[in-house]
């Protein structure tokens, strides 16, 4: 039996899309100007407009873009507590970055163990996180983590007071 041959379809060559006007339908903003939020987005936030010279190059900032900012804007927490929460967010993010990736841990039978790290990590980051942990009770710490990472704002007075206690402890108020 002989081999039959099929008629080959012509290959369609795709041209790469050009970025800019054709990719999204609008021209990019000119250099030296900052992008501004839409009216719909402005209605859902608390915005600080740029001041002084070079206003066109400065961004408009949403100060209530997360739970900490919303609580501060509603006057549920003070400036020192808001700054303590921001500091906690920074230190916690650095602490989590230092932890090994346990989610990809493989057994010893798999040959290689990508979850294993024989280093101790950055001692300064670990010490800073342990220092903040020691300032709060475990309940306060869980509430601060829920606020800063999960965006959970307490709904009852008792939980709100515990959260504020943890933030004040970090801020040095207690």
User: Within 13 Å of residue 41, how many CA atoms lie on the same side as its CB?
Assistant: 10
38 vs 59: CA distance, rounded Å: 13
**For 1-28, what is the mean pLDDT?**
61
pLDDT bin (cut points 50, 70, 90) of residue 98 is confident
Instruction: Say what the pLDDT of residue 100 is.
Output: 61
Instruction: Say what the pLDDT of residue 101 is.
Output: 57
pLDDT bin (cut points 50, 70, 90) of residue 43 is confident
Instruction: Say what the pLDDT of residue 59 is.
Output: 72
**For 114-127, what is the mean pLDDT?**
71
Write the DSSP assignment of the chain as a string of letters: -PPP-PPPPPPPPPPPPPSSHHHHSSPPPPTT------HHHHHTS-EE---SS-GGGSPPEETTSSHHHHHHHTTSS-HHHHHHHHHHHHHHHHHHHHS--GGG---GGGS--TT---S---HHHHHHHHHHHHHS-HHHHHHHHHHHHH-PPP-SHHHHHHHHHHHHHHHT--
Contacts of 102 (CB under 8 A, 6+ apart): 115
Instruction: Say what the pLDDT of residue 122 is.
Output: 80
| Rounded percentage of the chain residues whose pLDDT exceeds 90 | 28
Instruction: Say what the pLDDT of residue 151 is.
Output: 86
pLDDT bin (cut points 50, 70, 90) of residue 136 is very high
Of 53 and 80, the structure prediction assigns the larger pLDDT to 80
Q: Measuring CA to CA, which residue among 105, 101, 84, 96 is closest to residue 147?
A: 84
């Amino acid at each position: 039996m002989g081999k039959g041959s099929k008629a080959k379809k012509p290959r369609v060559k795709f041209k790469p899309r050009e970025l800019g006007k054709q990719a999204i339908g609008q021209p990019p903003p000119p250099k030296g100007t900052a992008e501004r939020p839409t009216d719909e987005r402005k209605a859902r936030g608390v915005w600080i407009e740029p001041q002084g010279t070079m206003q066109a190059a400065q961004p408009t900032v949403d100060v209530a873009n997360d739970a900490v900012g919303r609580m501060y804007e509603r006057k549920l927490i003070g400036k020192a507590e808001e700054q303590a929460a921001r500091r906690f967010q920074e230190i916690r993010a650095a602490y989590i970055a230092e932890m090994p990736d346990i989610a990809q841990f493989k057994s010893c039978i798999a040959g290689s163990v990508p979850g294993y790290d024989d280093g101790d990590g950055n001692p300064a980051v670990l010490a800073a996180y342990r220092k903040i942990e020691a300032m709060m009770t475990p309940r306060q710490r869980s509430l601060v983590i829920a606020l800063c990472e999960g965006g959970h704002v307490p709904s009852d007075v008792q939980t709100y007071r515990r959260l504020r206690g943890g933030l004040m402890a970090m801020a040095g108020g207690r």
